[in-house]
Structure 1
Amino acid sequence: MLAPPGDGWTAVEIGESDTSVFRRGDVFAKCCGPAGVAELAAERDRIEWLASTGLPGATVVDWLELPSGGACQVTSAVPGLPGDALAPVSRERAMRSLGGILRELHALTDCPFERPLASVIATAEDVVRRDAVNPAFLTDEWRKVAPAELLAEVVAERPYVESVLEPVVCHGDACLPNIFFDPDTLEVTGLIDLGRLGVADRYVDLALTTIQLHDEWSADPGPFLASYGVPNPDPRRLYFFRLLDPLTWG
């Protein structure tokens, strides 16, 4: 297991591949082997950029290069609770806060990072070609379909999505565990796991967040969408990005 130098670190999550996460006091260390350094450095740069905008999130405390050729990114802990840990009674207010913070994120300008649709689809093509799609990320219905057929559905719908593209600064993985809330005020206290942050269609975030609210909270996403400012979202783009996302992890 890769570990940061020094004593007092406790493993809190063992990621896939050669990535591991540790905590010591109010900081976290995310460590990777040589093959993951470029990706981890890209996440570090995104954390630093978001912190410079004033939106809530972690800050980079240190960047450590390991003798193995790997690296550790040390960040501050974000206060509060992740969205998937909130009590049911808190969820409607939390949805309104979540809509507000994504609206603020999407209104940012001068972002140096991009996630063009062409590159995301290319990633999906690579994952499908390697037969690396994780079935745990698919719905029961999609598990009955070959990943190549799901990808073909994405490719067929691509011209429509590109014709109505609305590029904004997206989180890229705006699921409930990556959004922290103050348990008392239910205001958002931070956005984490920013490895996919970049300019992309706003529906990248809207699609993932709304399906998370439905699946994890059994909630009507109406309060979230109203707070965000799109009470009647485009169902074709919601479906497109919900289908594309699970094909890009692997």
Structure 2
Amino acid sequence: MKIKFSQKFECHYGNIDWEPVTIGESGAQVYRNDTFVLKIQRITKRQSLLQEKSRIEWLKGKISVPDIIDYQVDETFEYLLMSRLHGIDAAQTKWKNDPIRLVHQLGSALRQFHDKIDIKNCPFDEGINQKLKECLGREDANDQLIAELLANAPQEEELVFTHGDYCLPNIIIDEEQCCVVGFVDLGRAGMADRYNDIALALRSIQYNLGNDYSHIFLEGYGLFSSWDEKKIDFYQKLDQLL
């Protein structure tokens, strides 16, 4: 399909054929072909595509993320053009037919993600206070849930560099080897408690694969005997506000 762009973007990319991406919960319109992924988002959205652009640029060379090809803006929309990573997202991979292997790999890959990226000099704060600050004052703010989260917020955060939306559609899998080869949709990546990612991963696994695999994911991550159920509940509720 053809897409109507801003005039400047049209000159460079107007003749490319695109297919819409309907899986996932991105606030942007997402399109792709064999080479590129394109996000288009209204400027009035809470989260600018510049947030994703800046995080991907910071992560380049640290982990496997797309290349930023172009970013433009007109009076109404932002446009973010990226390279397409080779592989298929974990929500659509054939390895869903072997969920134990897939889920263990997702847990192991998240642990490597957290352990590999040094947060020294990281400019992206995605901690509890920052997230709640963003929610306060919104016209559609859920004041009751915000009050509950403020009252039950963890006293300590074990900060790592988090993906921010570690859900199956955002994890790219090698179809031959059943291994994670890249990460996408990184607009909320940054320093936060590791349980921010663990909580969203568990929810996504339950949604896509059922309720029988949480312990497999946690074992893959390295949590064999104990984990923090209160933090898991807290971060799943916090995500409802974002």
TM range (shorter): 0.7 to 0.9
Match of 1:242 in 2: 236
Distance between the aligned counterparts of 2:113 and 2:17, measured in 1?
32
Distance between the aligned counterparts of 1:62 and 1:98, measured in 2?
30
Kindly state the Cα deviation for residue 124 of structure 1 after the two structures are TM-superposed: 3.1
Match of 1:79 in 2: 86
TM, length-normalised to structure 2? 0.82
Equivalent residues in 2 for 1:44-123 (5 A)?
A: 44-53=53-62, 55-63=63-71, 65-68=72-75, 70-87=77-94, 88-107=96-115, 108-109=117-118, 110=120, 111-123=122-134
Contact 1:113 1:199 in 2 (8 A): yes
| Aligned-residue RMSD, C-alpha | 2.5
Match of 1:7 in 2: 15
Question: Structure 1 2/16 Cα, relative in aligned 2: closer, same or farther at 3 Å?
Answer: farther
Match of 1:223 in 2: 216
| Residue in structure 1 matching 2:148, options 150, 153, 156 | 153
Contact 1:154 1:240 in 2 (8 A): yes
- Partner of 1:149, secondary structure, is helix
Task: List per-residue Cα deviations over 1:41-69 (Å, max 9, x = no partner).
Answer: 2211111222220x222111223x34547
Aligned length: 226
Question: Structure 1 223/16 Cα, relative in aligned 2: closer, same or farther at 3 Å?
Answer: closer
TM, length-normalised to structure 1? 0.80
Q: Which amino acid aligns with 1:56?
A: S
Match of 1:187 in 2: 179
Question: Structure 1 151/2 Cα, relative in aligned 2: closer, same or farther at 3 Å?
Answer: farther
| Residue in structure 2 matching 1:41, options 47, 50, 58 | 50
Distance between the aligned counterparts of 2:47 and 2:147, measured in 1?
30
Q: Which runs of 5+ in 2 are unaligned?
A: none
% identity of equivalent residues: 28
Kindly state the Cα deviation for residue 215 of structure 1 after the two structures are TM-superposed: 2.5
Kindly state the Cα deviation for residue 104 of structure 1 after the two structures are TM-superposed: 1.8
Kindly state the Cα deviation for residue 16 of structure 1 after the two structures are TM-superposed: 7.5
Q: Which runs of 5+ in 1 are unaligned?
A: 133-146
- Partner of 2:50, secondary structure, is helix
Q: Which amino acid aligns with 1:220?
A: Y
Q: Which amino acid aligns with 1:84?
A: A
More helix by share: 1
